[in-house]
C-alpha cells in the first residue's frame, strides 16, 4: 500500500512540475484565464501574532489556512491542484 501512495505522490509532483513549466511560457491574459481549478497559490501571513499560510484559488479567492508551508502544499495536492508559492 505504501508503494502505491508513493507513486501517487510522485505523479502529483511530476504533474506540478509540468504545469509550472507551462505557466512560465504563458502570456498575462492566458494566465488570468487558466488554472482556476488547477492552480492554488499560498503565502505566509501573520494573524493575531501567529505566522500562518493562506491558500488562495488562482483568482485570489481565499480557500484555506494552513499551519505551515508543507501542510499547505499537502492540502493543495490533495485537491489535485498545483501549488504555487506567492512571494
Domain assignments of the chain as residue spans, ordered by start: 2-85
The per-residue pLDDT for 59 is 80
pTM of the model: 0.60
- Listed in sequence order, the DSSP H helices in 27-83 are 28-33, 69-78
How large a percentage of the chain has pLDDT more than 70? 83
| Burial (0-12, 13-18, 19+ Cβ within 10 Å), 13 | middle
Higher-scoring residue by pLDDT: 19, 81:
81
Using one digit for the tens of pLDDT, what is the confidence trace for 18-33? 777 777 787 777 766 6
Higher-scoring residue by pLDDT: 47, 19:
47
Q: What's the grid cell of residue 71?
A: 501542510
Amino acid at each position: 500500500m505504501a508503494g502505491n501512495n508513493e507513486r501517487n505522490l510522485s505523479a502529483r509532483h511530476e504533474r506540478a512540475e509540468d504545469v509550472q513549466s507551462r505557466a512560465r511560457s504563458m502570456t498575462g491574459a492566458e494566465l488570468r484565464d487558466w488554472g482556476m481549478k488547477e492552480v492554488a497559490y499560498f503565502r505566509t501571513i501573520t494573524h493575531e501574532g501567529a505566522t500562518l499560510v493562506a491558500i488562495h484559488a488562482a483568482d485570489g479567492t481565499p480557500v484555506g489556512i494552513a499551519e505551515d508551508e508543507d501542510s499547505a502544499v499537502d492540502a493543495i495536492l490533495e485537491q489535485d491542484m498545483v501549488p504555487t508559492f506567492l512571494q
